[in-house]
Amino acid sequence: MTIEGLTPPRELATADALALLREGALEVEGRVVAASNATLYCAMTADGVSAACVYKPVAGERPLWDFPDGTLAGREVAAYEVSAAAGWEVVPPTVLRDGPLGPGMVQLWIDTDDDVDLIALLRGSRDERLRRIAAFDAVVNNADRKGGHLLPTRSGALYGVDHGVCFHAEDKLRTVLWQWAGQRIPEETRAVLERLQDQVRGQLGTRLAELVTRREVRATQLRLRRLLAAGLFPEPSGDWPPVPWPPI
């Protein structure tokens, strides 16, 4: 959807998107008023190329009782790093950089297909794209997977956004994607988890430690080990509300 007067979203190859996100000049054009934290619609421009992006400055983060202050932007970038390392492309290209209101998360704005009925997509769906996101959420310990955080595109991709409350060291998985709870993890997904386990022990773990705490990196390693040992998608623990509110 394009809004008149605003820089339109643009599909970019990942490398090109990351370069523009890191180096492009940011100009605030609007604000997503429904967001709980400051979420700004921006134009980013470099070498004559412009595209829309989301900018969430650390200064605009609302304090939470269970996550350290000023860490949500880093968690958003950490979620992208895991998605990219897995090859899942669940999270749009995302970087941590300075902006008009100070340091923050900057993410490529995704142009969604407004003809997709999210309720219908979620209701009893066995969509492989959703199963991939369910596995991703189990790895990053997503505490807030709402339906509205899923962005279908006209090209058939399905992205997940708003990952500021991920990577907590305690089990906080809260999601609308429980369709696969207790079911066996497919072999192709298991292969990705095994690769991620190796990567978190190495370069990916080093990168994550720059964005979240070392304890949370170790907890990510433990979640991967448990997922692989059980061979099953996680089930609600009973110690934490299993579905976020509101769910959409």
pLDDT, residue 238, reads 82
**C-alpha of 139 from chain center:** 12
pLDDT, residue 36, reads 85
Q: For 129-156, how does the pLDDT look when each residue is reduced to its tens digit (9 = 90+)?
A: 999 999 999 999 999 999 999 999 999 9
Report, at the CATH architecture level, how domain 14-230 is classified: Orthogonal Bundle (1.10)
Backbone angles phi, psi at 86, to 5 degrees: -75, -20
Q: Which residues of the chain have pLDDT under 70?
A: 1-4, 124
Report the alpha-carbon distance of residue 58 to residue 5 in Å, rounded. Answer: 27
The single residue listed with the structure tokens 């979240």 is 212
Q: Is 34 exposed, middle or buried (0-12, 13-18, 19+ CB in 10 A)?
A: exposed
pTM: 0.95
pLDDT, residue 13, reads 94
pLDDT, residue 4, reads 65
pLDDT, residue 138, reads 98
pLDDT, residue 34, reads 83
pLDDT, residue 3, reads 66
- If we measure between CA atoms, which residue out of 167, 208, 141 comes closest to residue 68? 167
Domain ranges across the chain:
14-230
